[in-house]
Structure 1
Amino acid sequence: MKFIFVRHGKTHFNEMNLTQGWCDSPLSQLGVKQVENMSLQLKNYCISKAYTSPLGRAVETSEIILQNHNIAPIYDKRLKEVNFGILEGMNTELVRKPHVEEPDWVDTLVMDYRPYQGEDLHDVIHKHLEAVNDIITSSQEDDTILIVGHGCSLYGLVATLISHDPRFTFPDNATAIIVDYKEGHFFLDTILKAVY
């Protein structure tokens, strides 16, 4: 089984450096170009099923990618980004001031927005793992599955699945992380970056 995890394309909020979890912003012109390029790179993958976060930026990304594959995405709310609570929509420099995230959170996965009416990253990863396990249970061994989601949550998920592969870093917008699943284990295959 093969998983293709894709972070959504760049949004207007990304370009304005605004915190974007459950609040939403559509893809920017650059974001659309990024995803169109990724769609071309994924054209020859035989995608059997597709799942997406229901947030608009992820849905828009999945629809562009799937234009070449004649399947519709399944929305799964477990694939949503971390909820940043009352800090949603704020400038990311201001959001860093309360030190909710550890400076090395990409290594430790310590990110807890619960004091600000948001979520803890580990709870979000747990929801993602539950979704992935359900997908595995309902899929065939030779399926290729597209999952479109978000930066922090997908990073946390994939870092948990493949442990410490040095090739894996926080994904840019419209990056595809291709992971093989065999006999209960996940292995990083390749990482595709949008070229535009």
Structure 2
Amino acid sequence: MILILVRHGITPWNEERRIQGLTDVDLSAAGLDQVRRLALSLKDFPIASIYSSPLVRARKTAEIINEFHQAPLHLSSDLTEMNHGDFEGLTIPELMAHHRDFLRKWLADPASVGMPHGESFLDVQTRVWKVIEGILANSRNALVVAHNFTLASILCRIKNLPLAEFRSLCVDPASRTVIRFCNGSADIELFNDRPYLNGGQP
């Protein structure tokens, strides 16, 4: 079976380098354009079902992709982005300026160090992987639309990497990552692929 992982298109907060987490920020005009191009690149993929975070930036991405497929669309709160707690809404420069010591600790051990009044990365991976297990049990091609940390947690699990190495597996907005599962093994055929955003062929 094929599993396609998609990150939602960009939002105004992505453009401002602001931490959005569970904050329900919509796609920007540029994000909508990205998603329409992404949807065209996926129109000929055989997709039996689509799973999405219910946050509007992901849900809208999933709905636009699904215009070409009319597949069952399942919204799951387990696919939402990491709860960044007290850091929601801060810009990256603000985070670096005022919380550098915490960030050092978190980057060294994101699995167990939780965001203040939020989640740890392991919390995220645990809830997200429940959804992936259900998808794999169905053994039918599926597409998942989610978020930066959500998708990185899936890829860490698939590649059997510790969560502290997640930065090598982060994907860009409106990208697609294609994974083929066969006989208990997983092969990543495309990673963070998005030539369609620059006028390239799907």
Q: Work out whether the TM-score is over 0.5.
A: yes
**Counterparts of 1:45-194 in structure 2 under 5 Å?**
45-96=45-96, 97-99=98-100, 100-102=102-104, 105=107, 110=110, 114=114, 116-137=116-137, 139-140=138-139, 143-163=140-160, 169-191=169-191, 192-193=193-194, 194=196
Where in structure 1 do 4 or more consecutive aligned residues deviate above 4 Å?
102-105
User: Is contact 2:82–2:150 with CA below 8 Å preserved after alignment?
Assistant: yes
In structure 2, relative to structure 1, the CA distance for the partners of 1:104 and 1:169 (3 Å cut) is: farther
The 5 Å alignment of 1:15-30 reads 15-30=15-30
Unaligned runs of 5+ in 1: none
Count of residue pairs brought into register by the alignment: 188
The AA in structure 2 aligned to 1:144 is N
Higher relative contact order (CA 8 A, sep 6+): 1
Give RMSD over aligned pairs. Answer: 2.1
Partner of residue 10, structure 1 = 10
CA apart distance, 1:109: 6.8
**1:3 & 1:74 partners in 2: Cα distance?**
15
TM-score normalised over the length of structure 2: 0.85
What CA distance in whole angstroms lies between the structure 1 residues aligned with 2:128 and 2:115?
22
TM-score (norm 1): 0.87
Identity of aligned residues (%): 27
* 1:113 positional shift: 6.3
Shift of 1:36: 0.9
Task: Specify the alignment match of 2:165 in structure 1.
Answer: none
Deviations 1:44-75 (A, max 9, x none): 10100100001110001101111100124200
Structure 1 residue 185: Cα displacement = 2.3
Q: Pick the structure with more helix per residue.
A: 2
CA shift for structure 1 position 156: 2.0
State the Cα distance separating 1:115 from its structure 2 match: 5.1
Q: Is the 8 A contact 2:58 2:147 kept in 1?
A: yes
Letter of the structure 1 residue corresponding to residue 53 of structure 2: S
Residue segments in structure 2 that go unaligned for 5+ positions in a row:
162-167
Q: Which amino acid aligns with 1:152?
A: F
Change (3 A) 1:117 1:73: same
- Give the letter aligned to residue 144 of structure 2: I
Deviation at 1:77, TM superposition (A): 0.8
Distance in 1 of aligned mates of 2:67 and 2:115:
41
CA distance in structure 1 between the aligned counterparts of 2:134 and 2:181, rounded to whole angstroms: 14
Query: What is the distance in 2 between the residues matched to 1:41 and 1:159?
Result: 25
